[in-house]
Amino acid sequence: MKSWIVLLTPLAVACGTVNEAPQELTALATLDEPRIDVELTHEDSGTTEGPPVADEVVVVATVAEPVLEVVSNAERHVFRLRHGETLHHFAKWSGGTVEDVVSSSGIELREDYDAGTEIVLNLEQDAKSRVDERREAHRVARASRYIEQRGGESTTAFHTVASGESAWNIARQTIGIPVWLLESYNPSVDLDRLRPGQVLMFPQIAPEPQVAHGEDLLALQ
């Protein structure tokens, strides 16, 4: 808050007469903006008749400074790290740094994190939506590159989880794909807590075309 002090001396300049000065200044003090405080100082005239003679008038005006209130609608959002995802991904998707992700998640900074590690980001709803969109685009692009490099997807198939099966057994031994690709096709499923009877979707990748060699080419003629 700032204050200004204005000295009016002598009083006759401001009001014309000493007796009228307090009334004039009291009227000014009733204004709402800015607030005006009036202080009168005087010396005793040495007589008992009549009002004291004002020596000087102090007018104090105070103006309240505006208060800027910053309102944040950020909320706490929890993500579970998927196979192949890193803290660098979440830093990039959220527009922050790895240190920001580590700090908000309450974890230590290190090279590798297990799938399922909780990542916490404090985001407003619009920022949360952007993270979800970028994460989904990354998931789809990574799976598409893997499949295209192996001849392209022929069809989509399904596997029903049997008792005792794990995500690793199903992906590597039964289907023959990486665990992260199985997870990519089932993003809403917690692969560490599979239950018998759950149905998982996976891509059936077309075999690579056979390359004809010399004798094979003669046989085709």
**DSSP structure class, residue 205:** E
Task: Return the bridge partners of 204, or none.
Answer: 155
Residues of the chain with pLDDT under 70: 1-72, 207-221
**221 inside domain:** no
Q: What domain range is 16 assigned to? A: 2-63
**98 inside domain:** yes
One domain, residues 141 and 171: no
Confidence (pLDDT) at 65 = 63
Looking up tokens 């590597």 gives 172
| Percentages (nearest 5) of helix, strand, coil residues in the chain | 35, 25, 40
Strand pairing of 118-123 and 75-80? antiparallel
Q: pTM, whole model, 2 decimals?
A: 0.59
Query: Looking at residue 127, which CATH number applies to its domain?
Result: 3.10.350.10
Q: How far apart are CA 210 and CA 221, in angstroms?
A: 17
